[in-house]
């Protein structure tokens, strides 16, 4: 979609006769340089996540002091998936930061649905446990819908239980899934107006696409949900003032998918292992990404092409450092909420 640099240079050189045309040439070069340096504003997750965690920490400590309530989250990790282990470790670490007690329960990769059900039932019955988190995905012999539906909706801090999904769909949310809830916080705390905006969500998963669409609708956006069968996707996404990408495909949303000045929220987390990939996706930032590939074998890219989005979008979230940090902060907020609601506080 972009006019190439060499096309522009040829055009400018052709008219470079006399002082006026020379001036015109320099103006063109100046405009090109300004365009090359134009970057979308980065919506960093860190300051928003830190602010949320600080608020949660203050309330957790107030509950302890004024009501003797110790907020507690149980995190269940089944199997040895490396990414899941990192996610659970980060969640447990965040609990420690905000003063929430956590129990990490590690189960073997061969755990059966019945065995995991027994653990969930024990945690449901334990009055000291406020929130239950079963890290997904589960090994394939386990029926994850049976497990999700077994979690007490009052302790369902991931908000995947049909009761909580139903409340959200009705526009009366109780627990809200952490990633979508974090996106709303990010928009609100950056004063990005949702009411009246055209919002487009690419992806219709239970954990991101559908719930973020519900939340945006509840906040009076005009919402379009896209998926793998959407016709002429770029034409649809280009209408969006707020574009949410939750697809799971590296750098899938290119510059021509984005309305100039739009706010682009990139939920995707994908590994890039090829140096050429990093060079293509990250433009001016490629060097440190290539260094990361050389050091640990990969770097991360979202579902949005960062170098192209930078030239078109008004604001975009980085990957890493964007939505992912908010997901963990919102889990803390949901755990605190569970502790309060369970006790009628």
Catalytic positions are: 91, 135, 158
DSSP assignment of 171-203 equals: T--SS--HHHHHHHHHHHHTT---TT-EEEEE-
Assess 324 for contact with ligand NDP (CB under 6 A).
yes
Exactly one of 70, 269, 275, 292 binds ligand NDP (CB under 6 A); that residue is 269
How many residues touch ligand NDP under the rule CB under 6 A: the total is: 25
272 DSSP β-pair partners: 299
Assess 180 for contact with ligand NDP (CB under 6 A).
no
Residue 331, both tokens: 């889990």
Q: Rg (Cα) of the chain, in Å, rounded?
A: 23
Say whether 224 sits in a helix, a strand or coil. strand
Look at the alpha carbons of 238, 315, 36, 321 in this order and tell me if their dihedral is positive or negative. Answer: negative
Binding to ligand NDP by CB under 6 A, coded x per residue (else -) over 228-247, reads xxx--x------------xx
Tokens 């073997």, residue located: 108
Assess 57 for contact with ligand NDP (CB under 6 A).
no
Helices (H), ranges, the chain? 5-14, 18-37, 45-67, 82-98, 113-125, 144-150, 162-169, 178-189, 209-218, 233-237, 275-282, 286-296, 306-312, 323-342
CA distance 223 to 162: 22
Task: With contacts defined by CB under 6 A, name the span among 65-73, 164-172, 271-279, 323-331 that binds ligand NDP.
Answer: 323-331
Residues 164 and 153 sit within 8 Å (Cβ to Cβ): yes
C-beta of 233 vs 293, nearer to ligand NDP: 233
Assess 45 for contact with ligand NDP (CB under 6 A).
no
Residue 88, both tokens: 């659970």
C-beta of 119 vs 266, nearer to ligand NDP: 266
In angstroms, give the least distance from the CB of 225 to ligand NDP.
Answer: 9
Tokens 């055009």, residue located: 11
77 DSSP β-pair partners: 106
Q: In this chain, which residue has its C-beta nearest to ligand NDP?
A: 205
In angstroms, give the least distance from the CB of 48 to ligand NDP.
Answer: 13
Assess 267 for contact with ligand NDP (CB under 6 A).
yes
In angstroms, give the least distance from the CB of 192 to ligand NDP.
Answer: 18
C-beta of 52 vs 208, nearer to ligand NDP: 208
Exactly one of 153, 248, 314, 321 binds ligand NDP (CB under 6 A); that residue is 248
Exactly one of 224, 299, 317, 327 binds ligand NDP (CB under 6 A); that residue is 327
C-beta of 327 vs 335, nearer to ligand NDP: 327
| Closest alpha carbon to 146 in 133, 168, 162, 165 | 162
Residues 191-230 touching ligand NDP, rule: CB under 6 A, are 202-205, 207-209, 226-230
Distance from the first to the final alpha carbon of the chain: 55
In angstroms, give the least distance from the CB of 56 to ligand NDP.
Answer: 17
In angstroms, give the least distance from the CB of 145 to ligand NDP.
Answer: 14
> Which residues of this chain interact with ligand NDP, rule CB under 6 A?
179, 202-205, 207-209, 226-230, 233, 246-249, 267-270, 323-324, 327
């Amino acid at each position: 979609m972009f006019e190439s640099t060499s096309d522009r240079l040829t055009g400018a050189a052709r008219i470079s006769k006399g002082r006026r045309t020379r001036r015109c040439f320099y103006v063109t070069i100046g405009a090109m340089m300004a365009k090359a340096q134009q970057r979308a504003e980065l919506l960093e997750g860190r300051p928003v996540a830190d602010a949320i965690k600080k608020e949660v920490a203050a309330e957790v400590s107030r509950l302890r002091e004024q009501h003797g309530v110790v907020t507690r989250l149980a995190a269940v990790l089944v199997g040895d998936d490396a990414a899941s282990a990192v996610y659970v470790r980060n969640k447990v670490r965040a609990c420690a930061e905000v003063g929430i007690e956590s129990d990490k329960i590690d189960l073997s990769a061969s755990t059966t649905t019945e065995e995991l059900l027994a653990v969930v039932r024990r945690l449901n019955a334990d009055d000291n446990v406020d929130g239950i988190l079963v890290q997904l995905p589960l090994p394939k012999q386990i029926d994850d819908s049976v497990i999700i539906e077994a979690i007490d909706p009052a302790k369902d801090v991931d908000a995947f239980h049909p009761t909580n999904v139903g409340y959200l769909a009705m526009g009366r949310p109780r627990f809200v899934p952490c990633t979508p809830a974090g996106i709303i916080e990010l928009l609100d705390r950056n004063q990005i107006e949702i009411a009246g905006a055209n919002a487009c969500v690419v992806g219709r998963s239970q954990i991101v696409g559908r719930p973020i669409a519900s939340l945006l609708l509840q906040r009076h956006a005009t919402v379009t949900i896209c998926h793998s069968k959407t016709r002429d996707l770029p034409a649809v996404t280009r209408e969006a003032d707020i574009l949410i990408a939750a697809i799971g495909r590296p750098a899938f949303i290119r510059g021509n998918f984005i309305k100039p000045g739009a706010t682009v929220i990139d939920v995707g987390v994908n590994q890039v292992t090829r140096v050429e990939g990093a060079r293509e996706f990250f433009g001016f930032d490629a060097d440190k990404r290539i260094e990361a590939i050389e050091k640990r074998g990969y770097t991360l890219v979202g579902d949005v092409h960062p170098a192209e989005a930078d030239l078109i979008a008004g604001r975009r979230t980085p990957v890493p450092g964007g939505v992912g940090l908010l997901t963990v902060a919102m889990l803390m907020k949901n755990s605190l909420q569970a502790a309060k609601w369970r006790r009628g506080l």
